[in-house]
Amino acid sequence: MGLSLPCGALVVLAGALFGFAVGLVTVVLAQAIGLTINWHLCRGVLRPRLQRWLAASQSGRRLERLLQRPASLGLMVLLRLALIPTVLVNAACALSPTAPRPYALACVVLLPRFALMVFAGDLGAAALSGSLRPVSLALRLVALIATGAALLLVARSMGRQLRRSATEHEGSC
């Protein structure tokens, strides 16, 4: 999934096809494999191409300056929660001198997002098959919406913090 595949659709589909528990395990394993492949591709084969791509625009050059230092665990967690496409965060971290261990640890914050999406797929499949009673469906929908709203609020808050942090960093450069 770290290879620019339509992650959201695949995560929801995993829930619909496999149910919540097996779907979540499948997604987590696929994500771990995808993140590892992406990391190594960006650190190795794709590095020159990505660096040329960054150098081609002003915002890319600004990002390239930020990538000169290792990203802290806190920054990587913020990036993960800011709803920035996973593949971009992966590439940025891989291009920087960030160590693999903190990068992998920061990816753990993706679990609630994936759990929510797998749950949505599982719920959709159960609803379509007619195996849900109306009260059970209503309760699951309320839980799904509440969890999604909470994740969105946290992500927006983290995004604002990230933008503030980036603005302060640019002012000090």
The winner for highest mean pLDDT among 22-26, 30-34, 55-59 is: 22-26
What span, in angstroms and rounded, lies between the C-alpha atoms of 46 and 42? 5
Asked if 53 contacts 23 with a C-beta cutoff of 8 angstroms, the reply is no
Cβ-in-10-Å burial (0-12, 13-18, 19+) of 67 comes to buried
pTM as predicted: 0.68
- In order of 72, 89, 121, the CA distances from 61 in angstroms are 20, 16, 40
In tens, the pLDDT along 68-107 reads 888 777 777 777 777 677 777 777 788 888 888 888 888 8
pLDDT at 171 over 60: no
Domain ranges, ordered by start, for the chain = 7-172
Structure tokens at 73: 């665990």
| Cβ burial 88-127 (10 Å sphere, 16+ → b, else e) | ebbbbbbbbebeeebbeebbebbeebbbbbbbbbbbebbe
Band of the pLDDT at 13, cuts 50, 70, 90? very high
| pLDDT score for 121 | 92
